[in-house]
Amino acid sequence: MMADLNGKTALIFGVASDTSIAWAIAKEMAEAGARIILAYQFRYHSRIKDLAPTLPNILSYDRCDVTKEDEMKAFFSKLSVPIDIVVHSIAFAPAATFQGNLLDVTPEDFSASLVASSYSLSKIMQYAAPRMTRGGSVLTLTYLGGQKVCANYRVMGVAKAALEAYVRELAFELGPKNIRVNAISAGPIKTLAAGGIKDFDYILDYHKSVAPLRENISTSDVASCAAFLASDKARRITGQILFVDAGYSIVGVPQLG
Ligand code: NAP
């Protein structure tokens, strides 16, 4: 049965195209009855302009680079409704960090990666929490690379580890306001962001052959879990990293032969 999000308003960051995990979440939450507000980076304005009106309950869509204070301020100053759900589906690291060794990462690239991919969750909540007057649910997207070494992920693994620590710290800090904070750790999915990771097709094949369910993950698999976490059915779940990965993360030694 679909989660019930009637009467809730969801603010969703990270739609870049119809392949984005955030887009599947927006569609699922809209179908579950939530009103949707989208925040996106301006360079994809033309795509969002076509996509956003196809959602049944779209309230507004506007640009917001989460690393720019002026854009954050302008974006939130235009929001007049209380927010119940925040989705942070954002990651960025400069291309050089995926190409070279971790030892060669510059302080500038380290900082750019962690500010965009980890600190941005906290930054968004600085603006969003005062608008969550009825409490609510915050959700971010992480990957196994935040807990285990995943080849070619490099500084993004460090960023995801920091993001997962933010989930616990923010859950602790915002819990007394009845704001829950969780992450979904998704298995690999071919999206625009995944395009930056070397040998991604190999990663997909390997994941499918090792995962107990012998399947790869779709954005809609992630979206149905996101809608559950955002719903009142998950009202006592906070500070958790929930794996939607066909069980891949539990395997130590894969089936041989
Ligand atoms: P995606 O469609 O490329 O989404 C990434 C989003 O982050 C894009 O909309 C991107 O906007 C946005 N973003 C980056 N920097 C930003 C900034 N400064 N301000 C605002 N938005 C910014 O790829 P995705 O795979 O759906 O990624 C969504 C999340 O899922 C990420 O956190 C990713 O790490 C996580 N995840 C992905 C996978 C996977 O295999 N795909 C697995 C586990 C977790 P621009 O494109 O305009 O930069």
Residue 211 — left, alpha, or beta (φ > 0 → left; ψ -120 to 50 → alpha)? beta
Tell me the mean pLDDT in the region 105-129: 98
Report how far residue 93's alpha carbon sits from residue 80's, in angstroms, rounded to the nearest whole number: 32
Q: How confident is the model at residue 91 (pLDDT cuts 50, 70, 90)?
A: very high
Q: Which of 40, 61, 127, 143 is catalytic?
A: 143
- pLDDT of 197 reads 87
- pLDDT of 2 reads 85
Lowest-pLDDT range of 27-31, 65-69, 145-149, 198-202: 198-202
Task: Name the phi and psi angles at 75, rounded to 5.
Answer: -60, -50
pLDDT greater than 80 at residue 85: yes
Distance 174 CA to ligand 1 centre (A): 24
- pLDDT of 224 reads 98
Tell me the mean pLDDT in the region 233-252: 98
Report how far residue 98's alpha carbon sits from residue 166's, in angstroms, rounded to the nearest whole number: 23
Q: What is the side-by-side strand order in the sheet with 85-88? A: 58-63, 35-40, 9-13, 85-88, 136-142, 179-186, 241-244
Q: How confident is the model at residue 1 (pLDDT cuts 50, 70, 90)?
A: confident
Ligand 1 binding pocket mutation candidate from 44, 68, 72, 192 (most atoms within 8 A of CB): 192
Convert the pLDDT of each residue in 159-210 to its tens digit.
999 999 999 999 999 999 999 999 999 999 999 999 888 899 999 999 999 9
Q: Taking the domains of the chain in order of start, what are their residue ranges?
A: 9-243
pLDDT greater than 80 at residue 257: no
Q: How confident is the model at residue 46 (pLDDT cuts 50, 70, 90)?
A: confident
Report how far residue 1's alpha carbon sits from residue 22's, in angstroms, rounded to the nearest whole number: 21
Q: What is the pTM of this model?
A: 0.98
DSSP bridge pairs for 86: 11, 138
Report how far residue 116's alpha carbon sits from residue 122's, in angstroms, rounded to the nearest whole number: 11
**Atom 35 of ligand 1, residue of closest alpha carbon:** 141
- pLDDT of 47 reads 85
DSSP bridge pairs for 183: 140, 241
Active site residue 61: no
DSSP bridge pairs for 181: 138
- The binding-site residues of ligand 1, defined as CB within 6 angstroms of any ligand atom, are 14-17, 20-22, 41, 43-44, 65-67, 89-92, 116, 141-143, 186, 188-189, 191-194
- pLDDT of 60 reads 96
- The percentage of the chain sitting over the pLDDT mark of 90, rounded to a whole number, equals 93
Distance 154 CA to ligand 1 centre (A): 16
Distance 257 CA to ligand 1 centre (A): 36
Q: Which of 153, 202, 206, 248 is catalytic?
A: 153
Is 42:100 a contact under the CB 8 Å cutoff?
Answer: no
9-243: CATH number: 3.40.50.720
